[in-house]
Amino acid sequence: MTITSLVPSVMNALTLISVLMLVAMGLGIIFGMMRVINLAHGEFMTIGAFTLSVLQAFGGATGLP
C-alpha cells in the first residue's frame, strides 16, 4: 500500500469515526439527563445516509468519497 492510497483511507476512517462519535455523544447526553434511551439519533443518521447515497447515485454529490 502506497502513501497515496493510505491518506484517503485514513481520512475516510476519521470521517466515519467522527460521525459515530457524534451519535454516541448525543445518546450519552440524552441518557445522562433524562435516564431514557432515545433511539431517534439512529433514525436521523439512517435518513441522512440514505439521502446522501441517493444524491451520490444521481450525481448531485460529486465531491464526496
Count of positions (residues) in the chain: 65
Say what the pLDDT of residue 63 is: 59
Is a pLDDT exceeding 70 seen at residue 4?
Answer: yes
4: amino acid identity, one letter: T
C-alpha cell of residue 65: 468519497
**Beta-carbon contacts of residue 59 (< 8 Å; ≥ 6 apart):** none
Confidence category of residue 30, pLDDT binned at 50, 70, 90 = confident
Reply yes or no on whether the pLDDT at 61 is more than 80: no
Q: CA 11, CA 19: separation in Å to the nearest integer?
A: 13
* DSSP helix, strand, coil percent of the chain (3-state; round to 5): 75, 0, 25
